[in-house]
Amino acid sequence: MEKVLMKGNEALAEGALAAGCRYFFGYPITPQNELPAYLAKRLPQAGGVFLQAESEIGAINMVLGAASTGQRVLTSSSGPGISLKQEGISYIAGSEVPCVIVNIMRGGPGLGGVQPSQADYFQATRGGGHGDYRTLVLAPASVQELYDLTALAFDLADKYRNPTMILGDGVLGQMMEPVVLKPSEEIERPIPGWAVRGKRGGKAKLITSLYLEPEALEEHNLKLARKYEKMQQEVRWEEYLTEDAELVLVAYGTMARVVKGAVRRAREKGLKVGLLRPITLYPFPSEALGKLAERARGFLCVEMSMGQMVDDVKLAVCGRAPVSFYGRAGGIFPTTAQLLAQMEKAMKH
Amino acid sequence: MLEEIIISGFGGQGVMLAGQLLIRAGMEEGLEVSWIPSYGPEMRGGTANCSVVLSDEPIGSPVVSEPSAVLAMNLPSFEKYLPLTQKGGLFIYNSSLMDEAPGRGDLEMLGVPATEIADGLGSGRAANMVMLGALLARKPLVKPESIIAALAATLPAHRQNLLPLNEKALKAGAEFAEAR
C-alpha cells in the first residue's frame, strides 16, 4: 500500500470524504484550521457543501438540520468553540441524529492558549451539554488513526443514531506522518427511514428533542439509556506489554504515544511496566482495566491535564490497586526522562 | 537509531520545507518519520521552527524538546536552541547571518555560510538546501538523492526548473561540511 505524508487535520478530512461525508459546517479556530481549509477545497469538487457559518452555534445547528435529512455531516472546532456548540450537541443527541464532531483540543480554561492539551475529557465523555445524554468518543493517537477512526466515527454514529466525537489535540492535528489511504470507492448508502426529506405524499415524520409530557420524556430517556447501554459493546483499546506488567500506565491520544516510547525505554532498564491505551473514551475500557487490576500492583495515569481520565481509571480499578497520576498542562507534555522518573516513583509505593 | 532534529529560522527561509524533505526522504528509505511545525501566534519576520524525528522504531513524541541535531538559520534560533541541544549533538548554524558567537564545547559545532553559498549559486533562498547538505554530510540519515527525489515530488510542475539549483546547493553544503 502506498504511503503518503499528511498533516493530521488533513488526514481526518480525507477520512471523512472517504466515509461519504459531503457536508461540513464550521467556524475557524486554531489548531484545527487545516481541516476546514482542506474541505473547503475538496468538498465542492466532490459535489458536497462546505459552509463557514457566522458562529459555532450557527454551524452546529446547520449540522442538526443537514444530518436530519440522513446525510453524513461533519463539524470541527477546538475547546472554546466546542463549548459554544454544546447546546446544539445536546439537541442532536436528544433528537437522535447521527453526526461527527471533531475537537482538536487546546489548553484552557477560557480562551487558554493554542498549544495541545487534553483538558476537554470531562466535557467530551460526560455529554458536555445539558440534559442526560452521551456521545461516543474516539481518541486517535496517530495520523493514520485520524484517518481510520473518522470512518468508524461515521459508522458508529449511523448505527446508534447518535453524535460521535473525535477527540484529538493540537499535536495530532498539526503533525505530519505517513498514512495509508484506502482505495476510493463509491459508497452506496441508503437514506435511513427516519430522515426528513419533505413529505412527498408519504407519512409525516418528526425529528425533535421536545417532549412536554413527563411520561413521554421519561420514556424517551429510558430509550436513550438502553441505547447507551448497548453502545458499551463498541469499546476499543490497545494493550502494550501488559502481560507481566507490575505497573500499568494509562494514557490516550498524543500522550499515549509518548508514554509508549517511555515504556519501551523502561523495559530496557528492566522495569516491568505496560500501557493500556483507550481508543474509545466513551465507552471506556473499564472491564479491561478491571482485569488488569486483578494482577497489576499499581496504575499510573498520564494526561495533558490536571487529571480527568484518572477518575474513570479509579472507578474501573475500584480500589484493587493504587492509582497515581501525572499531568502537565498549557501545551507542555512530559519528556521520556520525566515519565521514567514517575514510573520509578510509582513502583516504589 | 533515533534522530531528533530542530530546523529553525526566519519565516521564508524554507525551514518547514527542509523538514518535510527530510521526512519524505526518510519515509521512502523505510524509516519511521514525523514532522511538526511550531504553530503559535508567530509574528511576520519572526522565527519559525519545525521538529523532525527519524527513527527505526515507532515514534513517541513528534515534538522535539532536546534535539540531537539543530539547523539554526538565524541568530534567534542559535540563541534559543544552543542550550537545549543534547550533549554530543550536532549544531549547524548559518554563519552568513551572525557574527561568530561562542558555542558549546560539548557539541559538534559547525558554522556554514549558507546564505553566501546559496547566493553564489544564484539564489539565497536555497540556503536551506545548503544547510541540509551540511547536515547529511555529518550525519548520513538519508541519501542526498532521496532529498532531491522528495523535492521533485513536492514542487509543482512549473517549479521543477528549480531542481538543478537545489541539487547544487545540497552538494555545496555537503562539500563545505566535509572540508571542515
Please give the model's pTM, rounded to 2 decimal places.
0.96
Q: Where residue A349 falls among pLDDT bands split at 50, 70, 90?
A: confident
For chain A, the straight-line distance linking the first and the last C-alpha, in angstroms and rounded, comes to 47
Same domain, A326 and A180: no
Which among A184, A203, A233 is the end of a domain? A233
State how far residue B122 is from chain A, nearest Cα, in angstroms: 30
Q: Output A241 or B11, whichever has higher pLDDT.
A: A241
Q: Where residue B42 falls among pLDDT bands split at 50, 70, 90?
A: low
Same domain, A202 and A241: no
**Residue A110 to residues A82, A94, A116, A328, B124, Cα–Cα distance (Å):** 12, 27, 15, 18, 44
Domain that holds residue A319: 236-348
| B contact residues 32-71, partner A, Cβ 8 Å cutoff | 33-37, 39-41, 57-63, 65-66
Q: Tell me, rounded to whole angstroms, the distance of Cα A316 from its chain centroid.
A: 20
Q: Do A174 and B37 touch (CB under 8 A)?
A: yes
Same domain, A227 and A277: no
Nearest to A157 by CA among A92, A208, A79, A205: A92
Mean pLDDT of B47-68: 95
Same domain, A197 and A265: no
**pLDDT for position B100:** 78
Same domain, A28 and A160: yes
Q: What is the mean pLDDT of chain A?
A: 96
Express each pLDDT in A119-177 by its tens digit: 999 999 998 999 999 999 999 999 999 999 999 999 999 999 999 999 999 999 999 99
pLDDT > 80? residue B121 = yes
In chain A, % of residues over pLDDT 90: 92
Same domain, A276 and A309: yes
Same domain, A220 and A175: yes
Count contacts between A and B (CB, < 8 Å).
59
Mean pLDDT of B110-123: 97
Q: Do B66 and A5 touch (CB under 8 A)?
A: no
Q: Do A3 and B27 touch (CB under 8 A)?
A: yes
Hey, of B61, B64, B66, which one would you mutate to test binding to chain A, going by the most A CBs within 10 A of its CB? B61
Q: Do A174 and B36 touch (CB under 8 A)?
A: yes
pLDDT > 90? residue B99 = no
Instruction: State the Cα–Cα distance between residues A93 and A81, nearest whole angstrom.
Output: 18
DSSP A190: P
In chain A, % of residues over pLDDT 70: 99
User: What domain count does chain A have?
Assistant: 2
Closest residue to A176, CB basis, from B35, B58, B63: B35
Q: And the C-alpha cell for A343?
A: 514510573
**pLDDT for position B43:** 67
Q: Is the dihedral of CA B113, B76, A6, B59 positive or negative?
A: positive
Which among A204, A233, A262 is the end of a domain? A233
Express each pLDDT in A273-303 by its tens digit: 999 999 999 999 999 999 999 999 999 999 9
Instruction: State the Cα–Cα distance between residues A73 and A27, nearest whole angstrom.
Output: 15
User: What is the CATH number for A272?
Assistant: 3.40.50.920
**pLDDT for position A199:** 75
Hey, of B28, B63, B68, B87, which one would you mutate to test binding to chain A, going by the most A CBs within 10 A of its CB? B63
Q: Where residue A217 falls among pLDDT bands split at 50, 70, 90?
A: very high
Searching chain B, which residue's CA lies closest to the CA of residue A113?
B40
Same domain, A196 and A110: yes
Same domain, A87 and A212: yes
**pLDDT for position B68:** 98
Give the CA angle between residues B161, B159, B11 to the nearest 5°.
120
Same domain, A50 and A180: yes
Closest residue to B39, CB basis, from A3, A174, A178: A174
pLDDT > 70? residue B44 = no
Residue B25 sits at the chain A interface (C-beta within 8 Å): no
State how far residue B32 is from chain A, nearest Cα, in angstroms: 8
**pLDDT for position A140:** 98
User: What is the CATH number for A20?
Assistant: 3.40.50.970
**Residue A271 to residues A74, A79, A202, A243, A299, Cα–Cα distance (Å):** 44, 37, 67, 13, 14
State the CATH architecture for B2-179. 3-Layer(aba) Sandwich (3.40)
**Where in chain B are the domains?**
2-179
Searching chain B, which residue's CA lies closest to the CA of residue A259?
B60
Place of cell 474509545: A280
Same domain, A100 and A36: yes
**pLDDT for position B173:** 98
Neighbour-count burial of A16, counting CB atoms closer than 10 A to its CB (0-12 exposed, 13-18 middle, 19+ buried): buried
Mean pLDDT of A111-119: 95
What value does the CA radius of gyration of chain B take, rounded to a whole number of Å?
15
Residue A240 sits at the chain B interface (C-beta within 8 Å): no
State how far residue A114 is from chain B, nearest Cα, in angstroms: 7
Same domain, A260 and A160: no
Please state the ipTM of this predicted complex.
0.94
Residue A27 sits at the chain B interface (C-beta within 8 Å): no
Mean pLDDT of A194-219: 92
Mean pLDDT of A76-105: 98
Which among A208, A233, A258 is the end of a domain? A233
pLDDT > 70? residue A118 = yes
Phi-psi sector, B12: left (phi>0), alpha (psi -120 to 50), beta: left
Residues of A in contact with B36 (CB under 8 A): 171, 174-176
Mean pLDDT of A311-336: 95
**pLDDT for position B180:** 87
